[in-house]
Chains A and B, each alone.
Chain A
Amino acid sequence: MFDVSLVLSGQFRGWLLSGFVTSLQLTGLTLVLALPLATALALLRLAPSGVLRWLGFGLVEGVRSVPLLVHLLFWYFGAAELLPGPARQWLYAHDAEAACAVVALTLYTAAFMSEDIRSGIRAVPATQLEAGRALGFGFLATMRRVVLPQALHITVPPLISQTLNLWKNTSVATVIGTAELMYQAQKVETASFRGFETFVVATVAYLAVSLVITALAAAYHHRYPPRTA
């Protein structure tokens, strides 16, 4: 009765594998784009100017309070339509589903990561920032040369945790037709009538990468234990 080999052969295997690769690609690309954005948002929230701080607060809270599903639907069915004609047509002719998924995932992940980065920066003693300013560095320069490198060490574990969330979040992109692992698993399930086997395989695939990410966090914690002041 339980026969995984059917789902792991021929056409079905190809579909599942391509979905797995797409999920990994979505994760990687989003990570590359979200980290700088998250850093910018964190700095925005710590800026000397009140207006900038409120802007950062609004953006982060606005994005964090809305489910990822809604972000995906908004960008794909709503915002994409607002692009000017030629840009829109170019987007639709190429992989609009994946592109909108990356946009939604990047904003969503960056909003959460920015909070972790902000905590990391705040954990660096304020005297570091003051010293940097006293030496004549501007706010941004001090951040870049003095504070952020120190903050990074504290921030890595929560960022790895957010990466784990990102990996799992890619599964929601199935609702806008992005051909990642969950989408392909649904396709295989319909075509093979073998839901149990298909979902076992897909679950194992998700767990495998999740465990790798968790192991990475443990290794980092082991190698660079949190320093006490």
Chain B
Amino acid sequence: MHIRAKALATSLIAASLITTTLAARADQLDDIKKKGELVVGVLGTDEPNSFIDPKTREIVGYEVDLASAVAKKLGVKLTLKQLAVAARIPELQQGRVDLLAASLTHNKEREQVIDFSLTSFVTGQKVLVRKDSGITQLSQLGGKKVVTIKGGTQEPNIRKAVPGVDVVTFETGPQAFQALQQGKGVGFVNDEVSLIDDYAKLGPQQKDYAILPQNISVEPLALGIRKGEKTLKAAVDGTLRELEKSGDAEKLFFKWYGPGSRLKFPSRSFKIESDKVES
């Protein structure tokens, strides 16, 4: 009796606190300016969007630079917070970070719980396979084991694309990639850009791997903003539009993804201009 009553009371209190805290929140942009600090959630494990430079031990990357630009525009200090993939949206919802720059896919399902900035990157999800598995087509993955990351859109997407597939998830991208390398799965499901980066890291072993050409989804990545924070979104979008207009956005793309980087994208296939998505 004691235990059940306590559980019920706690959940009621939690529910009411959640609703009242959400309702009573003042404008976040004002809060950020007052604090003088913009707390941005990043993954820190997804090269080159956000990763830890082993020499300087600092978190750097394409999305980190975008976040810096926003902080500069607002005139506040940038503070980076490293998050696990599954924690991104909860941390934003609970106000523990102000903004998400964490390889976050913009889809309609997520629109119900958070807001998104203009799409800052477009990629698809693909599968990196071991050539010794003999798999050349997506459909051949049925009944086979693939690895991916916990808490993202990869698992639901691959299951939709290949109904009979067996999926094992790990805490971080690099850990899943290692599992693939060790042969614990025949394929690694992730954003195309991350896969290209991992493929490039393989060096001489590249001949043993291939990225399957089919996309299992199209992933527009954007910065995550808490639901209803219109002024913050306007400020973030404004910064992104300025970067695009001045050509800095493209320069950032080439800095991290261009011919001089490990990924060697010859050109940029998108522009930072819209926040509408298909699905």
Using a CB–CB distance below 8 Å, which chain A residues touch chain B? Answer: 1-2, 77, 80-81, 88-89, 92, 96-97, 175-177, 179, 183, 186-187, 189-191, 193, 195-196, 200
Q: Please measure, in the bound complex, the distance between the C-alpha atom of A186 and the C-alpha atom of B171, giving whole angstroms.
A: 11
Q: Please measure, in the bound complex, the distance between the C-alpha atom of A77 and the C-alpha atom of B175, giving whole angstroms.
A: 9
Q: Tell me how far the C-beta of A198 lies from the nearest C-beta in chain B, rounded to whole angstroms.
A: 12
Q: Please measure, in the bound complex, the distance between the C-alpha atom of A80 and the C-alpha atom of B147, giving whole angstroms.
A: 17
Q: Please measure, in the bound complex, the distance between the C-alpha atom of A175 and the C-alpha atom of B172, giving whole angstroms.
A: 10
The 8 A-B pairs at the shortest CB distance, nearest first, are namely A177-B168, A190-B151, A92-B184, A92-B183, A1-B15, A2-B11, A81-B182, A177-B170
B11, B14, B182 interface centre (most CB from chain A within 10 Å)? B182
Q: Tell me how far the C-beta of B57 lies from the nearest C-beta in chain A, rounded to whole angstroms.
A: 22
A190 touches B86 (CB 8 A): yes
A187 touches B155 (CB 8 A): yes
Known A-B contacts A2-B15, A186-B150, A195-B90; the reply to A97 vs B182 at CB < 8 A is no
Using a CB–CB distance below 8 Å, which chain B residues touch chain A? Answer: 7, 11, 14-15, 86, 90, 113, 147, 150-152, 155-156, 168-171, 175, 178-179, 182-184
Chain A interface mostly helix, strand, loop or mixed?
helix
Q: Within 8 Å CB of A187, what residues of B?
A: 150, 155, 169
Q: Within 8 Å CB of B168, what residues of A?
A: 97, 177, 179
Known A-B contacts A2-B11, A77-B178, A187-B155; the reply to A177 vs B169 at CB < 8 A is yes
Q: Tell me how far the C-beta of B82 lies from the nearest C-beta in chain A, rounded to whole angstroms.
A: 17
Q: Please measure, in the bound complex, the distance between the C-alpha atom of A97 and the C-alpha atom of B156, giving whole angstroms.
A: 21
Q: Please measure, in the bound complex, the distance between the C-alpha atom of A117 and the C-alpha atom of B200, giving whole angstroms.
A: 53
Q: Please measure, in the bound complex, the distance between the C-alpha atom of A216 and the C-alpha atom of B14, giving whole angstroms.
A: 35
Q: Which residue of B lies closest to A88 (CB)?
A: B183
Q: Please measure, in the bound complex, the distance between the C-alpha atom of A187 and the C-alpha atom of B169, giving whole angstroms.
A: 9
Q: Please measure, in the bound complex, the distance between the C-alpha atom of A2 and the C-alpha atom of B113, giving whole angstroms.
A: 16
A1, A177, A190 interface centre (most CB from chain B within 10 Å)? A177
Q: Tell me how far the C-beta of A86 lies from the nearest C-beta in chain B, rounded to whole angstroms.
A: 12
B155 touches A177 (CB 8 A): no
Q: Within 8 Å CB of A183, what residues of B?
A: 169
Q: Please measure, in the bound complex, the distance between the C-alpha atom of A186 and the C-alpha atom of B7, giving whole angstroms.
A: 21
B179 touches A177 (CB 8 A): yes
B182 touches A92 (CB 8 A): yes
Q: Tell me how far the C-beta of B131 lies from the nearest C-beta in chain A, rounded to whole angstroms.
A: 15
Given contacts A176-B170, A187-B155, A196-B14, 17 further A-B contacts (CB under 8 A): A2-B15, A77-B175, A92-B183, A92-B184, A96-B184, A97-B184, A175-B171, A177-B147, A177-B169, A177-B170, A177-B179, A183-B169, A186-B86, A186-B151, A189-B86, A190-B151, A200-B7
Q: Tell me how far the C-beta of B215 lies from the nearest C-beta in chain A, rounded to whole angstroms.
A: 21
Q: Which residue of B lies closest to A81 (CB)?
A: B182
Q: Within 8 Å CB of A191, what residues of B?
A: 156
Q: Which residue of B lies closest to A207 (CB)?
A: B3
Q: Please measure, in the bound complex, the distance between the C-alpha atom of A96 and the C-alpha atom of B150, giving whole angstroms.
A: 18
